[in-house]
Amino acid sequence: MTRYQRLAELLAQRIEQGLYQAGERLPSVRTLSGEHGVSISTVQQAYYLLEEKQLITPQPRSGYFVTPRKAAPPLPPITRPVQRPVEITQWDAVMDLLNARLDKDMLQLGSGMPCIDAPTLKPLWKIISRLGQQQDPRLLSYDNLYGVPELREQVARLMIDSGCQLTADDIVITTGCHEALSVSIRAICQPGDIIAVESPAFHGTMQTLRGFGIRAIEIPTDSVTGISLEALELAFEQWPINAVVVVPNCNNPLGFVMPAQRKQALLTLAQRFDAAIIEDDVYGELAFEYPRPITIKSLDMDGRVLLCSSFSKTLAPGLRVGWVAPGRYFDRVLHMKYISTGSTVTQTQMAVAAFIRQGYYQPHLRRMRSDYQRNFEVFTRRVRHHFPCGICLTRPQGGFLLWVELPEPFDALRLNQDLRASHIQIAVGSLFSASGKYRNCLRLSYAQPFTDKTDRALEILGEAVERAMLCCPAVAEPSARGEAGEGRVSEKEGY
Amino acid sequence: MTRYQRLAELLAQRIEQGLYQAGERLPSVRTLSGEHGVSISTVQQAYYLLEEKQLITPQPRSGYFVTPRKAAPPLPPITRPVQRPVEITQWDAVMDLLNARLDKDMLQLGSGMPCIDAPTLKPLWKIISRLGQQQDPRLLSYDNLYGVPELREQVARLMIDSGCQLTADDIVITTGCHEALSVSIRAICQPGDIIAVESPAFHGTMQTLRGFGIRAIEIPTDSVTGISLEALELAFEQWPINAVVVVPNCNNPLGFVMPAQRKQALLTLAQRFDAAIIEDDVYGELAFEYPRPITIKSLDMDGRVLLCSSFSKTLAPGLRVGWVAPGRYFDRVLHMKYISTGSTVTQTQMAVAAFIRQGYYQPHLRRMRSDYQRNFEVFTRRVRHHFPCGICLTRPQGGFLLWVELPEPFDALRLNQDLRASHIQIAVGSLFSASGKYRNCLRLSYAQPFTDKTDRALEILGEAVERAMLCCPAVAEPSARGEAGEGRVSEKEGY
């Protein structure tokens, strides 16, 4: 830690402890320089850092002031979905989300796209290029149905960190996690069956259930501890549920990491009712804490967990390299993969295997974890700044997705339409429910580096939300903006 | 045509016309040289060519003799499958076929793998390598759900040759033709539905029907004219059939190209019974005749044909670049693609688009068409040579697959097991039927260049078939080998 960072930390502590109060003028640069025996520029740098963190605000010709603090928005309360199996719709809204990819000018705040610009990803280009030069005939040949052996070995090794004892032979490579989920669902369900899902739940999984004529029963889910085991048990008692689909690590969209004991309890419950667990771990390696959280699969003794994942969030989604460890359902998953795509692209599998084998994967993962965590902090701070009071915000423990809950009956669908003119796209909450819940919610992505453009977009978004809340009597409250008015910082946009 | 080729052709004509009779000694090299006023070496070369074509046989120290001719085996008669919808099984046999890919020492005569060694395919390597160098971020990003626009444009242009008026917007890119077929079937059928298929039919399609709980009704199919329209009409009258799946161009496995009028008649029939047609055109561009045969899609006025294809047979299967033109079922196909794989690998799509745009595709196609046609001629000749009499052989009009019918109750499954020790793999006929037909049939591939190893494999195969036929009283006939005994040429193996 450099000198100015130490000074900044000291000042931040004092602000935290109330030694410097909100709105109070801070000591001049010269005073601090004398007091701490450091240079003027060191103090200046420390102040810049605190300004960047929005703890202090410069006032032209008056010096620095402690930024008035806005209360941290609360976490969303546990969800309350409909307690019976429902048919899934929402395809139009999903298409809407997907079509936004076509518009190059659109700022895609709703997208699940990771950042692919990190320097630690650069060696992948060289690997791709070299694969072309080497003219390995395997690139052009049918892959075997299981997937490229080297890659399966690497995946098995990576999964040790999640507590899993897997071998290459336990793994089937798929075209992204999407196919992994799709073949898993099909391997264990028939049309008309019922699957329990978290609520909110990833729209891709929901659409897959819909496509196979499977009904979803949405289970209340807490934004810190995950799926409610009590509600799930009740559902198991009432309905013939075949399987549970969960994203226990860095949940999409709520961002929680389910505590290990709850993972064990979920597995025990599934055993008691003889249900399978489809575990979507696609964000698991992007947990902010290290070592990464365990998978439910790591606790699984009787092969009932189908662990699905991919390199779409950790490396790049265009590679479409996913995989599934299907446990006791291996043969059926293999059959389903055969009828789904026959085999997987060889080239991108070999590229990923080489990237891992040559030692590039772990440094890249470290970099992305820390980038996303930093993005999260900045992004959340700016959301709090630009958005009116009365919202709930998740505190993701990994990944790059933030869930914003606005007071009912806020209509995110309409907001999304209104934002189109400003070339901003969000993921509307109703995508994540089979029963039309969460119209008052949005999912935002902080995967991309935070820029002026992002900040401006959050400002527009905040204003639009505020307008919508004022127009809507049930939502608007006299102090809907609360301290936000004063709180809005007038410094240069973004950083 | 060079001098020696002209001379060889003249001699071939004389043999054909009976001027030189089977077993007769041909004029000496010196005699012919004088007679035709050409050099000794020209005559020698002409004789080598005829020997290669197996029209003549050298006898040590006696000169060349006209090879005794074996009667051309007849075409297989029209098939007679069970005339009711059946459940599909045979997954074990398919896995067996797929697992053979894992054994590098296995000569895969049963595989659908094209030849990827042609020099005209070489530019693809450079394109792949350049894509890595250019670091186009699209390679790593989620593709849009429809597929890369440039590729869709190229596909639409290619399909003009098949008579189709398509635009890029009519096309959805898929992970191989396999996914194209799979999403098409799912877009138009529910579990329990009935689909009519040719008999024999591609095992991949059959397994897809099975995976979705769809029953197949197998329609008698002629090895020259394709699916029996009379039988299909009868089936339509008796059963609620949703769709027909056909491979009308260079059929897999029978090799026929359905005549244009019959394609029209099939479409009319489908219109009358309001059924969809899933047209698998994956071998269509490999028809020996040029211009290539039309697709049923080109005749389709009301969008009931879902045209499925890929670059797996024309370029390379490892790329997994397929596509579907789903007509009126576009939206449902798109939804099914979304739930199947989310999106397709961007990189291989861009590579294929560049390969076509840069003008490499048509020359490669011409090369493959002529290579496969030449392979077919040599391969068939050697099959006729090594196999006993009493077999039926198809005469493929394109592609690289040959269908061999042996007298019932020959058991190809057992043959396949017996061949394992010799590292030879064939595709057993029963793979191509839902009702366990065609145990007496095999599908062989002549995609790879014909080598000594291929010839030796055909010899082993021929001997195994002969042994099996002799062991099996119902099959064996006194003259089971017919003229083959004399006909077996004792010259050096292969060429």
Chains A, B: CB contacts within 8 A come to 210
Provide the pLDDT for residue B484.
Answer: 36
| CA distances to A84, A196, A245, B42, B436 from A236, in Å | 11, 9, 14, 86, 41
Mean pLDDT of A118-132: 96
Name the least confident of A162-166, A242-246, A383-387, B16-20: B16-20
Cα B55 to Cα B17: distance, rounded to the nearest angstrom:
13
Residue A216, pLDDT > 80, answer yes
Provide the pLDDT for residue A49.
Answer: 86
Q: How confident is the model at residue B478 (pLDDT cuts 50, 70, 90)?
A: very low
Contact A129 B129 (CB under 8 A): yes
DSSP string, B312-348: TTTT-GGG-EEEEE-GGGHHHHHHHHHHHHSS--HHH
Provide the pLDDT for residue B89.
Answer: 75
B290 touches chain A (CB under 8 A): no
Average pLDDT over chain A, rounded to whole? 90
The C-alpha of B342 sits at a distance from chain A's nearest C-alpha, in angstroms, of 6
Quick: pLDDT tens for B9-64.
Answer: 888 888 877 788 888 899 999 999 998 999 999 999 999 988 877 788 888 888 89
Mean pLDDT of B354-379: 96
pTM score, whole prediction: 0.85
Provide the pLDDT for residue B485.
Answer: 35
Closest to A140 (Cβ–Cβ): which among B140, B318, B347? Answer: B318
Range 338-367 of A in CB contact (< 8 A) with B? 338-348
Residue A469, pLDDT > 80, answer no
Contact A144 B207 (CB under 8 A): no
Contact A139 B132 (CB under 8 A): no
B392 touches chain A (CB under 8 A): no
* B474 vs A188, more confident: A188
Counting residues of chain B whose pLDDT is more than 90, the rounded percentage is: 70
Note whether A450 and A478 are within 8 A (CB): no
The C-alpha of B215 sits at a distance from chain A's nearest C-alpha, in angstroms, of 15
Question: Where in chain B are all domains bearing CATH 1.10.10.10?
Answer: 3-66
Contact B318 A141 (CB under 8 A): yes
Q: Of all helices (H) and strands (E), which one includes residue B65?
A: strand B63-66
Note whether B461 and B386 are within 8 A (CB): yes
Residue B139, pLDDT > 50, answer yes
Average pLDDT over chain B, rounded to whole? 90
A211 touches chain B (CB under 8 A): yes
Note whether A324 and A306 are within 8 A (CB): yes
Contact A338 B204 (CB under 8 A): yes
Provide the pLDDT for residue B466.
Answer: 87
* B384 vs B310, more confident: B310
Contact B335 A207 (CB under 8 A): yes
Q: Which residues of B touch A207 (CB under 8 A)?
A: 335, 338-339
Cβ within 8 Å of residue A434, ≥6 positions away: A86, A87, A88, A89, A90, A197, A201, A206, A209, A210, A216, A218
Cα A395 to Cα A402: distance, rounded to the nearest angstrom:
7
Question: Partners of B86 in the beta sheet?
Answer: B216
Nearest-by-CA chain B residue for A126: B132
Question: Where in chain B are all domains bearing CATH 3.40.640.10?
Answer: 120-361
Mean pLDDT of B320-324: 98
Mean pLDDT of A166-183: 97
Closest to B345 (Cβ–Cβ): which among A98, A133, A345? Answer: A345
The C-alpha of B315 sits at a distance from chain A's nearest C-alpha, in angstroms, of 8
A192 touches chain B (CB under 8 A): no
The structural architecture, per CATH, of the domain A3-66 is Orthogonal Bundle (1.10)
The structural architecture, per CATH, of the domain B120-361 is 3-Layer(aba) Sandwich (3.40)
Question: HSE of B404 in the Cβ direction (CA atoms, 13 Å)?
Answer: 30
B320 touches chain A (CB under 8 A): yes
B91 touches chain A (CB under 8 A): yes
Residue B164, pLDDT > 70, answer yes
Cα B260 to Cα B296: distance, rounded to the nearest angstrom:
8
Contact A179 B342 (CB under 8 A): yes
B211 touches chain A (CB under 8 A): yes
* B416 vs B265, more confident: B265
Cα A323 to Cα A310: distance, rounded to the nearest angstrom:
6
Residue A215, pLDDT > 70, answer yes
Provide the pLDDT for residue B123.
Answer: 97
Q: How confident is the model at residue A474 (pLDDT cuts 50, 70, 90)?
A: low
Counting residues of chain A whose pLDDT is more than 70, the rounded percentage is: 95
Nearest-by-CA chain A residue for B178: A341
Quick: pLDDT tens for B422-456.
Answer: 999 999 999 999 888 999 999 999 999 999 999 99
Mean pLDDT of A268-272: 98
How high is the ipTM of this complex? 0.83
Quick: pLDDT tens for A439-461.
Answer: 999 999 999 999 999 999 999 99
Nearest-by-CA chain B residue for A315: B140
| CA distances to B89, B201, B385, B439 from B431, in Å | 9, 8, 26, 9
Which tokens go with B130?
A: 């350049």
B225 touches chain A (CB under 8 A): no
* A141: three-class secondary structure by DSSP: coil
Quick: pLDDT tens for B397-414.
Answer: 999 999 999 988 889 988
Closest to A144 (Cβ–Cβ): which among B102, B133, B190? Answer: B102
Q: How confident is the model at residue A486 (pLDDT cuts 50, 70, 90)?
A: very low
The C-alpha of B383 sits at a distance from chain A's nearest C-alpha, in angstroms, of 26
Residue A143, pLDDT > 70, answer yes
Provide the pLDDT for residue A472.
Answer: 61
Radius of gyration of chain A (CA): 24
DSSP string, A346-359: HHHHHHHHHHHHTT
Contact B116 A338 (CB under 8 A): no
Q: Which residues of A touch B136 (CB under 8 A)?
A: none
Q: How confident is the model at residue B473 (pLDDT cuts 50, 70, 90)?
A: low
Cα B308 to Cα B285: distance, rounded to the nearest angstrom:
13
B192 touches chain A (CB under 8 A): no
Quick: pLDDT tens for B178-226.
Answer: 999 999 999 999 999 999 999 999 999 999 999 899 999 999 999 999 9
Contact B113 A182 (CB under 8 A): no
* A416 vs A280, more confident: A280
Eight-state DSSP code of residue A241: E
